[in-house]
Structure 1
Amino acid sequence: MKGEVYYGKGIRELEDQYPDLYELVTDMNETVWDGKILDYKTQKLIAIGITASRADPRATKKQIKSAIEVLGISKDEIVDVLRVVLLTSGMPAFSKSLQILNSVLETMD
């Protein structure tokens, strides 16, 4: 993700303790989020779908929040992604992700 925003715990510790590994993660991050074929917005929507389908509340919240704040992605666009999550991963993952979306939107109002 642009700007070296990492959601995994421990990544920042790499910067001081293992700079070579931190550089590797940073390079990989820039390679993945390059927007060459799929634009960055589409890539972000895919990331939301993946984290939501895994029912990972922390990652889903962070992906949704940054999608709205950084890219201006709308609630309707995110709900479209969550519809695919419902179809492919079931009601629990969908329901949890929808709750997360609504809580993020509430805190932004």
Structure 2
Amino acid sequence: MTAGLLAGMASGLAFEATLKQSVQLWSKNRSRQNLANLQGLQLQLPFLGMAGGICVFLASGMEIFGFPKLLSYALALPLTVLTAWLVWTQLGKLLIELERGGSQALDLDSFEG
């Protein structure tokens, strides 16, 4: 359980640093490459590490409550894959929005309800 949590956290920090660096580099250069293309192997690898750590953490958490190991992973794996796919898709949409409208496009405080 602890190993999954630590792996997920370490990969999450690497993912954050890589994403920030890629966006800052794009922002300085405003290169011809669009932001959605920044989701290459450099960003995918820590993301997959984070998802793997989360899967191990979820399965270990279920094992604590008495679920068999096979059943725990059978439940944790699809849940992790679905969540990771949704987050990756949303990240792509946010990067496109950032490219179109700059950081003001992501300013949630500017919306008044």
Q: Say yes or no: TM over 0.5.
A: no
**Structure (1 or 2) with the larger CA radius of gyration:** 2
Report the TM-score, using the length of structure 1 for normalisation. 0.32
Pick the structure with more helix per residue. 2
TM-score, normalization: structure 2? 0.31
Question: Which structure ranks higher in relative contact order (CA pairs < 8 Å, sequence separation ≥ 6)?
Answer: 2
